[in-house]
Structure 1
Amino acid sequence: MKKILLLLIIVITVSCKDEAKKETNKIETSIDKKENFPSELGKVFEKHGGINAWRKMSTLSFNKGEEVITTDLHSRKIVINTPKYSLGFDGKEVWLDEEVADSYKGNPSFYYNLYFYFYAMPFVLADNGIIYEKVADLTFEGIDYPGYKISYKANVGTSPDDNYIVYYNPKTYQMEWLKYTVTFKSKAPSDAFKIIRYNNWENISGFVLPKEITWYKKDKNGTPTLPTKPATVFTLPLVSEGKLSDLFFEKPLK
């Protein structure tokens, strides 16, 4: 609860600051020529608000159901607060703090940054240590979506064998689909891609971020067919230059 109150104080302070700057600040859309990512992905980043502007932000927060997920965008420290438990990453260790005993049933080390990655698309695809590869288009309902495969250099992150494939609209350059693999348990490369549709976005402080995402079934060719379940909805989004204290991301003291 204390972490939520602290975040609210910072949100109010930063919101006032952002309002004062709104008329004078512009979202940067120029792409640094030294960037590692392909120019087509640079256009995707521009469509969603600009990678240079994103890198100026410090705090990202959003809700998924009862979960309040807050991230320091530079250190990638994270806290997930719920009425029954909190978990997070303090920069060194993943921790779990339960208000109600045995209320969390998952694996904190796997889950703590899972939805951060899904929500912060496509910007996380400009992280360091990424290898880019052009792939065949994804066809859905008569539209061919160009795509790039994202893999990681050895020893980058907790699951360097994970792969992503991002697909974007060929006319607007807005992100439309994401394929991804899960290698956390196996620690080995996999070709078993899951697929998410990103077709509901909203503008948050100049950035186009997902309002909801939907997992899809695939046919034998890897083409999406029908949703596997109702959409996952995100609410109360915040992205700001305001930085939270390191204490915010530490496990609460008993």
Structure 2
Amino acid sequence: MKKITLALLGLILIVACNNTQKKEMSSEKAAAKETKVVKKTYPDKLQKVFDAHGGIDKWNEAQTLVYEMVKPNNTEKHITDLPSRKTRLEGKGFTIGYDGKDVWLSQKDSTAFRSNARFYHNLYFYFYAMPFVLGDDGITYTKAKSIEYDGVMYPGYKISYGDNVGDSPEDNYFIYYNPETYKMEWLGYTVTYFNGKPSNKISYIRYGDWQKVNGVVLPKVITWHKTAENGKIAEARNSVSFTNVSLTNEMMKNEMYERPEDGVVVPKK
């Protein structure tokens, strides 16, 4: 009887062990499936542009971008949570934020901020975070006709967005890079936010003064240029400088982006 009992016990243990191993293997497979990351691919030349600026993977690891934007009459502090794109802009007499749902405006009086806060809340972030924001989801890349400036030809890509991507999916960007260094040197863009109609007018910003922040190459100065009647880039118009830049792998507290009691939600267009 003891022999039968021991044999039965052994059989039970073997079955239990096999079931445990199967569960562990299934759990491991499930975990491996969950953690499998599909790496995005970009056009070959655009990938080289990302690499020349420190790498898109390095940028994607970061959580928070902070910079101060120096304007003629004041300095603004811009804070962005990179994964969610929540924002907080602190200016002279006003604060603008995006909490992940609404854009809000808080100001000392009605004259502190005179522009459209919804349009403005991430405007300079997109200009500043070039070329990395061109690695976002929902983007289509097509080769653009090269542009010429001071005898140098700059190849590039046209960036267009899918429907319902951002407040102005009709907008287009054009990135142009140095053919030898692959660093970004020009950005062309169209603006359709205010009237909702696609525009063929391209404005140009020149990039060339860079700074390295946490291994990533970001602008120190960006300069807008006039556009001639024939569509070619003309002389410089104005510049904006960026100081006290930080790019960290730490997240700010969520309260940073929440609407204060005196904050007013800015409606969509």
Instruction: Place the TM-score, normalised by the shorter chain, in its bin.
Output: 0.7 to 0.9
Alignment partner for residue 75 of structure 1, among 71, 74, 84? 84
Q: How far apart are residue 166 of structure 1 and its match?
A: 0.3
Q: Does 1:50 align with 2:58?
A: no
Determine if contact 1:83/1:99 at 8 Å carries over to the other structure. no
Determine if contact 2:58/2:215 at 8 Å carries over to the other structure. no
Letter in 1 for 2:46: L
- For residues 33 and 195 of structure 1, the distance between their equivalents in structure 2, rounded to whole angstroms, comes to 34
Root mean square deviation, CA, Å: 1.4
**Structure 1: runs of 5+ lacking an equivalent:** 1-31
Q: Residue in 2 aligned with 1:63?
A: 68
- For residues 248 and 34 of structure 1, the distance between their equivalents in structure 2, rounded to whole angstroms, comes to 31
**Structure 2: runs of 5+ lacking an equivalent:** 1-36, 263-269
- For residues 170 and 50 of structure 2, the distance between their equivalents in structure 1, rounded to whole angstroms, comes to 24
- For residues 39 and 77 of structure 2, the distance between their equivalents in structure 1, rounded to whole angstroms, comes to 36
Count of residues paired in the alignment: 222
Alignment partner for residue 137 of structure 1, among 133, 146, 165? 146
Q: Residue in 2 aligned with 1:251?
A: 259
Q: Does 1:35 align with 2:44?
A: no
Bigger CA radius of gyration:
2
- For residues 220 and 184 of structure 1, the distance between their equivalents in structure 2, rounded to whole angstroms, comes to 23
Change (3 A) 1:34 1:241: closer
Alignment partner for residue 173 of structure 1, among 157, 175, 182? 182
CA deviation string 1:148-179 (max 9, x = no partner)? 00000111111000100000000000000000
- For residues 195 and 114 of structure 2, the distance between their equivalents in structure 1, rounded to whole angstroms, comes to 20
Determine if contact 2:92/2:112 at 8 Å carries over to the other structure. no
TM, length-normalised to structure 2: 0.80
Determine if contact 1:159/1:183 at 8 Å carries over to the other structure. yes
Q: How far apart are residue 36 of structure 1 and its match?
A: 4.1
- For residues 165 and 61 of structure 1, the distance between their equivalents in structure 2, rounded to whole angstroms, comes to 25
Alignment partner for residue 107 of structure 1, among 97, 103, 116? 116
Q: Residue in 2 aligned with 1:27?
A: none
Q: Residue in 1 aligned with 2:165?
A: 156
Q: How far apart are residue 37 of structure 1 and its match?
A: 2.2
Q: How far apart are residue 185 of structure 1 and its match?
A: 1.1
